[in-house]
Amino acid sequence: MADIINLLPDNIANQIAAGEVIQRPASAVKELLENAVDAGATEIQLIIKDAGKELVQVIDNGGGMSETDARMCFERHATSKIQSIEDLFQITTMGFRGEALASIAAVSQVELKTRKKGSEIGSYIEIDNSQVKKQEPCQTAEGTSIAMKNLFFNVPARRNFLKSNTAEMRHIVDEFIRVAMAFPQLQFSLTSNNQQLFHLDKGSLKQRIVAILGQHYNARLVSVKETTDYMNVYGFAGKPETAKKTRGDQFFFVNNRYIKSPYLHHAVMSAFADIIPADSFPLYVLFIDVNPEHVDINVHPTKQEIKFDDEKLMYAFVQSAVKHSLAQFNVTATLDFDLDPSIQALDAVSKPFTAQQQNESTLSPLYKSFTQANQAHMIDKSSNSSNLKHWKDLYSGGGDQYTTTSYPAETEQETESRPAVTYESQPHATASVIDERWQDTPTDQKVPVQVHQQYILSQIKSGFILIDQQAAHERILYERYQRALLETPMATQQSLFPQTLQLPPADAILIGEMLPDLQALGYDLEPFGNHTFVVRGTPADIQQGNDQATIEGLLEQFKHFSHELKVNKREQLIRSMARNNAIPAGKVLSSREMQNIIDELFACSMPNVAPGGKFTFISFKLTDLARMFERGN
């Protein structure tokens, strides 16, 4: 019987290994940038074309390689960073597995130029599908330039699984930011399709955070720093007002390596637990320095998931460090101010409080209102029997006492003519039935009432309806925006003074992707370079004002829906706009505004639910409530 087990050819084995390491262009970006850092570079350039599908190139001024090293670096498990098994537990470099360049060469066409410091001439190597096509001396600058071209050209099936250019570019920017954030002492730049997206000069960690995430964070960062013999924690956390509804501004680095750790993230969240909403995420950029012996980073191909030998200690230490920094911020926030000179000059501050003034103040009605006997929760026992008698009568009696207390005295004729005011809830009433009841209700009985600035109560023929003002307005806006995208674009209100909108890089890419749809929805935005847009106009139906906050809120909602919904981007966008621009709970509405919401809600094609599935209203029937109040007995 013939043998059936064979060794795989090298090119197939390399492609299988590459599937673990190089999943998309951003994977190659990460590996190449980390190699440049390990090479001792102080200036690193990343050049991208066609979201990395056509070209990913990294140019550095590091140590460079000899002719032999340049050839050997593309072999599997070839590395200069591991000599013995003990070295695996003392890793201080970014790359060490010796698979990155071999994996890149297996799924792309690679060109390498490198010159070692002190050498007069460099080396040029061209590799295609793991096969060396050309190797020759060349003239090049000190350092290394490596270009990965036509990713997955030899594995078309994998190329088909790549996302849109915008999505792939966002992943590239994320990887670039993670490496650049970890090494603020190095200069980084990112150019995409001949347009420079980043130029990050050498500087402090705070300068690097502000350069990447935006100038508006400059005064909103709290320094975190704790040092022990076991480990050090340092970095910055955002003040509570920087918390967002979506993730994205959370960075953990262990020995300068970016990691993903839900466990340590929970430690930071617990430190913020009492000062930000439960569904918000704080900004933080935290570095943990710990002896490599206490960390195992060789547990995942991307090296972004690691293990600690004492996770509970790490958790407690991170939580304590962040809490301590936030506590310091709270103290300094209350004391760190300059008192207005005009306040210091007031008599109440500058003159002493005499004994006569003290006596006069204790006799005043205001002072007495704050004494124990006059506090709201204190009850005078002597007046208990008289003042509280009618409340005792109300709650200690039967049904008749409820009736006599609840209604003013009436004549027998008035009692017979009074309509039965008894209602009951009907949560799932259909829109068509409610609409008919609404149309049949006399106009003078349609006057709506706002309940706790959250709900609108309005009478209908068979009872009344209770409308959630936010959910109802969300449904109205959703259908309006839907029509704008499918039929007639919305009107734009031009701004007299256009605002400049500066966004984080990933958000700027997202806005650029949505520009055509945003224009149909009434936004007039114009790219202005360097992650900036000029807002020349906004939808005519939303209040003009802080355009930056409005669009940032829209982006937050969009990213929130992106994580939770399996729908297309247009659907995410109009849901996000409807949620962001809807009248919030707590807003006081006039009778006319409430009436407009009711009229527009029942003109919708699906008025009974908001886009997210929440009910917009609940109906209450007189007949059902009559049974609750036992009016039929």
pLDDT reading at 620 higher than 90 = no
Q: Which 3-state string (H, E, C) describes 14-36?
A: HHHHHHHHCCCHHHHHHHHHHHH
**H helical segments located in 441-468:** none
Class of domain 419-633: alpha beta
**Residue 601 near residue 607 (C-beta atoms within 8 A):** yes
Task: State both tokens at 570.
Answer: 């247009």
**Residue 519 near residue 491 (C-beta atoms within 8 A):** no
Domain boundaries defined on the chain: 10-200, 205-334, 388-412, 419-633
Query: If residue 298 lies in a helix (H) or strand (E), which one and from where to where?
Result: none
The length of the chain is 633
pLDDT reading at 201 higher than 50 = yes
Q: Average pLDDT over the chain, rounded to whole?
A: 76
Instruction: Among 109-113, 335-339, 354-358, 503-507, name the one with the lowest average pLDDT.
Output: 335-339
Give the contacts of 123 (CB within 8 A, at least 6 positions apart).
Answer: 65, 66, 67, 70, 71, 112, 113, 114, 115, 135, 136, 137, 138
**Residue 106 near residue 9 (C-beta atoms within 8 A):** no
Q: Give the residue from 596, 506, 623 showing the smallest Cα distance to 173.
A: 506
- What is the pTM for the complete model shown? 0.65
Give the contacts of 294 (CB within 8 A, at least 6 positions apart).
Answer: 230, 231, 308, 309, 310
Q: How confident is the model at residue 43 (pLDDT cuts 50, 70, 90)?
A: very high
Q: How confident is the model at residue 97 (pLDDT cuts 50, 70, 90)?
A: low
Q: Dihedral (C-alpha) 108, 109, 115, 121: value to the nearest 10 degrees? A: 170
Q: 141 phi and psi, to 5 degrees?
A: -70, 160
The CATH architecture one would assign to domain 205-334 is 2-Layer Sandwich (3.30)
* 506, amino acid identity: A
What is 10-200's CATH number? 3.30.565.10
Sort 275 into a burial class: Cβ within 10 Å, 0-12 / 13-18 / 19+.
middle
What's the CA gap between 44 and 36, in Å, rounded? Answer: 7
Q: How confident is the model at residue 29 (pLDDT cuts 50, 70, 90)?
A: very high
499 forms beta bridges with 535
Sort 83 into a burial class: Cβ within 10 Å, 0-12 / 13-18 / 19+.
exposed
Buried b / exposed e over 350-377, threshold 16 CB at 10 Å, is eeeeeeeeeeeeeeeeeeeeeeeeeeee
Q: In the prediction, which pLDDT does 191 show?
A: 93
What's the CA gap between 122 and 188, in Å, rounded? Answer: 23
3-state helix, strand, coil in the chain (%, to 5): 45, 20, 35
**Residue 24 near residue 48 (C-beta atoms within 8 A):** no
pLDDT reading at 342 higher than 50 = no
Q: Which residue has the tokens 């990395």?
A: 52
Task: State both tokens at 382.
Answer: 């002597």
Q: Give the residue from 329, 322, 321, 327 showing the smallest Cα distance to 219.
A: 329
Q: Most confidently modeled of 182-186, 224-228, 516-520, 567-571?
A: 182-186
Q: Which residue has the tokens 């009344």?
A: 464
